Structures are given as structure tokens and as C-alpha cells.
Amino acid sequence: MSIYSLFETVANTVPDHTALVFGEVQIDYRRLSEAIRRLANGLRSLGVQRGDRVAILLPNVPHFVVAYYAALALGAVAVPLNFMMNGQELQRLLQDSGARVLIAWDGFRPLFFAISLSEALCPDIVVLGEKCPDFARPLTRLMQESSDDPITEIVQDDNPAAILYTAGTAHDSYGALMSHQALQFNAQTSREMFRVGERDRIAAAIPLYHPLAQSQGMNLALLSGAVLVLAPRIQPRPLLQTLRDTRTTFLPLVPGLVSALTALPAGENPLSDLRAALCYGSRIDEQEVNRFESICSAPLFVGYGLTEAGPLVSCHRLFSDYRPDAVGPPLVGIEIQILDENSVSLAPNCTGEIWIKSPSVMSGYHNRPQETAARMRDDWFFTGDIGYIDLDHYLYVVGRKEDLIYKSGFPVFPHEIEDVLSGHPAVDQAAVIGVETAAHQNDIKAFVVLSSGQRVEVQELIDFCRQTLPVYKCPTSVEFCSLLPRSATGRILKRLLH
């Protein structure tokens, strides 16, 4: 069964229940269902057919939800795009996806303007907003002029539903092709794990183009008959007010947003209705978790996953032990194994590459058979992450395989050094990479962002590391910088450091 069919079942069951909240606007399931049907019929009038790609370049507005589900209703493939990209990156991803239609907000006009010069790149552009260019079609008019007749397209659960591009610059991004089954599995497993129901209000506090916001936000809410709260402004203070006003009960987050919320004055933060939050995307330390839980009076469950996996793979649970540095046990129905360099399975507490097998794993990378073959074997996906599983099946992630540094023949995980450097009172952020010397040996280099008003000498930081770490793990050079390159989720892009 398709995602759209599941949504329609819910909409027919609770038609008068609120589906979306956007500022002062509330949309019930009946109206949302009608809007989706109208846009689906409108897209069909433009020639969109099964398997065509429909690119979506929209902020967190109701029309994102409508466009996403309208594409899926037709058996087309939704392609949510990161609006933080530049114009060249957007063109590259549109070309890679082969999008038949682009649905965009007029506020992003500088991004998509150049696309109008090439019909081969994207034949139809549909724009939301009052400032629709001459070369585009107004989205609201397309919906108004289309019927709300039922969509009768038969879509199987193994049919493609979405192309989700991995984090990074456009040239480094691959499109993970997700089936309807993959998206269903992750949302429905989360519903059972976090006990989400019709009374819940789930906030899209991160952009909906992000896989976590789609799966543990939009799909989780709309396949559960819950309320999806769309945060129009994803800045800490307005977001906090939105969460209070809407009495949000479940909140998916990325680490950068957790830090931003906990940095607000303590008196502004209590969220009396929040019963759980989920954090995913990159490492987050125990102190940050404790601060969030103390300020927001709700548990923060740390999870792990990848775009290619739907995205959630493992997570701490309600009423289960919290283990610092762990990312919880695997979700029900997901298998994890740890393998060495020879693809031999390792015993508990032994470190190796994390492999996963799950109904939520991608079908493959769009138009990239070689890259797909390099990451998948017999339904197992090689994550490229290094970690281990303890005797109770809790997963621990210690770093990226590509980031692992071999110094004097010994493996060094960058996070060990980064954690020590971050403990220095003058250091705000730190990132560590391996650099090749003239003698073709590996040295360790640290990039450091200092706290406001702080100064420190390079040798002092190196000596500080030597107080805790063995000599071979200590950095041999330190470079100070004003900021570290990050993805939209806050993950440090180490490939841009050199």
C-alpha cells in the first residue's frame, strides 16, 4: 500500500480532526485531503505520470505537505530540495533527479530563476506566492482550476516514493531512492516506539526537506491522525513560542537546534505539554542532553541513522535505560551487525563498520549503480560509520570510517581529541582531521573555534591534550578559525577542512 493510500485511510477516519497548524491557520484532514487531490489532478494535467520526479523547493508551509503527497498519489517521485543550496547546486540536483516539475516558493526566486532558461532541465515550474514569474505557473491557481476527483492510481509499496539527497555539497550528494514501504516502515515503527496517537501534536521544527522531518515529523503525524505543527521560523526564540502556543507533545530535533534552545534564558524554556523529543544527526554529549531535559522538562532520546536508511536506525526508548554515548538499540525490525575489514562479524564490544538490514533502507542511489553496488550487498547496507554493540544490543557510534586516522600504525578516532579540546575553557568548537606529511606519514591537525573574547596559544592546546591523551593521539598542529563548515543539520563537513 502506498503512503498516500494510508493517509487517505486516516483522513476518512478522522476527517474533522486538525491535520496541520501553521501560525493561526488550522487545516483539518478533510480539507488537506481535498487540497492533495486537487494538486495531484493539476500535476496530471501538466503531464506528470507514474515514475516522474516532482521537485519541491518550499519552506515549512502547508503546500510542502500537499505537494509531497500529491506526487506520491500519482505514483510520481517526490524530490525535496535543500533551500540552503546555491543556484548551481540546485541545478545540479535537478539535472541529476531528472525532475519533470519544480514546485517552488517565490521567496526562493533567485535560486530557480536560471532554471527557466532551460526547458530540458525542468519543463514546468509551479510557484507559490504572489510574485509568480511569467515563465512559471501559479500554484494556487493550478489547484483552484483542478478537480478534487479521487486519485485512482494503483501504487505498490515497493514503488519509488522519494529521492532524498544525502548531506554535503551538490557534487558530493547522492540521491537515495526510497520506496513507499521504506518510508512507511520508519514512520510506523516510530509511532509504536514513541506511542504516538491522534492526541499528539508533532512539530516540524527542522526544514521538511530533511529526512528526519519527513519521517519522524510529517509522515509520523499524518499516518497517525495526529497534528503536524509547521514552524514557519526555525530560529530558537520564535520556535519556542510556537511550541508553547501549539502545546507540542513530540519534537524531532538535530543537535544544533538542541544547543540553540538550551542557550536561551532558562525562564523562557519550560514546555509543559512536551512529553518527548528525539535528537538525530551528529554526536551530542551527555551534558547537552541533561541541559535540555532539565530546561524543557521532557526526555530527549538520542538516535542514530542515515538518509539512506529511512532515516532512523536506532534510538533510546521510553521507560528504558539511558546510556551515555550510546544511540540506543536498533528499532524493531532492523538488524545491525559490526564487521571488520574482511567483512567478518565481530563479537559484542568490538569496534568495526556498522552494517544494517532493514525494510527502511533505500532501493539504491538514483542513477548510480556503481555507488549502489559499493554500499549494498545481499540487502545489507554498509553505513561507513564505525561503532560497536554492547551485550544489551545498545549501539555506540565512534566516528566515520573515512575520518579514521592511522598514526604510527595505531587507529585514532577524531572525536577522542575533539572531546578533550572542547573541554578547554577557551575552546568553543573543535574538529580534527588527518593530514599527510611530506614523508607520506599521517599527522593530526585540529581546527579550533575559540569562545568569544578568549585567546590561547597553540602549544597550550597541544599540552592540554597531552594531559589526557597518549602522545600519538595528540594534534601536531592547530589552526584557529571563525567557524567550521557544517551541513544543514549541523554536522561538520570535514572533507572541506585541509
Q: What is the pLDDT of residue 27?
A: 98
Return the pLDDT at 120: 62
Residue 180: band (very low, low, confident or very high) from pLDDT cuts 50, 70, 90 = very high
Q: For 258-315, how does the pLDDT look when each residue is reduced to its tens digit (9 = 90+)? A: 888 888 776 666 688 999 999 987 778 788 888 888 888 889 999 999 999 999 999 9
Examine the pLDDT at 119 and tell me if it is beyond 80: no
Q: How far apart are CA 291 and CA 312, in angstroms?
A: 23
- pLDDT score for 134: 86
| Helix segments in 101-208, DSSP class H | 109-112, 139-144, 180-194
Centre a 10 Å sphere on the Cβ of residue 36 and count the other Cβ atoms it contains: 26
Q: Do residues 370 and 416 both lie within one domain?
A: no
Mean pLDDT of 155-181: 88
Residues 324 and 243 placed together within one structural domain of the fold: yes
Q: What is the pLDDT of residue 396?
A: 95
Provide the pLDDT confidence category of residue 331 given band limits of 50, 70 and 90.
very high
- Do 361 and 438 belong together in one domain? no
**Where is the domain boundary, 376, 401, 426?**
401
What 3-state class would DSSP assign to 213? helix
Q: What distances in angstroms separate CA 378 from CA 35, 169, 184, 357, 375, one per listed residue?
A: 41, 29, 22, 9, 10
Which amino acid, one-letter code, is at 124? D
Summarize pLDDT for 102-118 with one digit per residue, the tens: 999 999 988 877 666 56
Q: Point out the least confidently predicted range of 10-19, 181-190, 430-439.
A: 430-439
Q: Indicate whether 345 pLDDT > 90.
A: yes
Domain count, the chain: 2
CA atoms of 327 and 396, how far apart (whole Å): 6
CATH number at residue 255: 3.40.50.12780
pLDDT greater at residue 150 or residue 119: 150
Inter-residue contact 119 to 142 (CB < 8 Å): no
Distance between CA 197 and CA 226 in Å, rounded?
6
Which grid coordinates belong to 191? 509511532
What whole-number distance in Å separates Cα of residue 317 and Cα of residue 322?
Answer: 8
Identify which of 274, 269, 206, 265 has the alpha carbon closest to the alpha carbon of residue 234.
206
Q: Check whether residue 315 and residue 430 sit in a common domain.
A: no
Report the 10 Å Cβ neighbour count for 85: 21
Rounded to 5°, the CA angle 257-169-164 comes to 70
- Are 30 and 139 within one domain? yes
Burial of 254 (C-beta count, 10 Å sphere; 0-12/13-18/19+) = buried
Planar angle of CA 199, 203, 206, nearest 5 degrees? 160
**Domain limit, last residue, from 351, 370, 401:** 401
For residues 104 and 12, membership in a common domain is answered with yes
Tell me what the mean pLDDT of segment 77-99 comes to: 90
With bands split at pLDDT 50, 70 and 90, how would you rate the model's confidence at 488?
A: low
Residues 438 and 450 both lie in one domain: yes
pLDDT value at position 324?
82
SS3 19: strand
454 and 384, same domain (yes or no) = no
State the DSSP code for 492: B
Residues 391 and 362 in one domain: yes
| pLDDT at res. 494 | 84
* pLDDT score for 116: 62
Q: Are residues 368 and 443 in the same domain?
A: no
Q: Is it the case that residue 391 has pLDDT exceeding 80?
A: yes
CATH assignment of the domain containing 470: 3.30.300.30
What are the phi and psi torsion angles at 486 (to 5°)? -135, 155
The span from the CA of 432 to the CA of 461, in Å, is 13
Q: What is the C-alpha separation between 492 and 271, in angstroms, rounded?
A: 29
Contact 228, 204 (CB under 8 A): yes
48-67 pLDDT, tens digit per residue, is 999 999 999 999 999 999 99
Q: What is the pLDDT of residues 303-317, one digit of tens each?
A: 999 999 999 999 998
The DSSP result for 332-384, as a single string, is TT-EEEEE-TTSPBPPTT--EEEEEE-TTS-SEETT-HHHHHHHEETTEEEEE
Which of 306, 309, 351, 352 lies closest to 333, judged by CA?
309
Burial label for 427, CB within 10 Å (0-12, 13-18, 19+), is buried
Domain residues for the domain of 286 are 1-401
How much is the pTM?
Answer: 0.90
DSSP-assigned beta bridge partners for residue 368: none
pLDDT tens-digit profile of 201-220? 999 999 999 999 999 999 99
Residues 379 and 440 in one domain: no
Mean of the per-residue pLDDT values of the chain = 91
pLDDT score recorded for residue 263: 82
Residue 257 has pLDDT above 80, yes or no: yes
Inter-CA distances, 347 with 316, 331, 336, 352, Å: 22, 20, 12, 10
Q: If pLDDT is split at 50, 70 and 90, which confidence band does 193 have? A: very high
Domain boundary among the residues 385, 401, 417 is at 401
pLDDT at 489 over 90: no
181 and 286 together in one domain: yes
Res. 171: pLDDT tops 60: no
pLDDT 10s digits, 401-459: 888 888 877 888 898 899 899 999 999 999 999 988 765 578 899 999 999 899 999 99
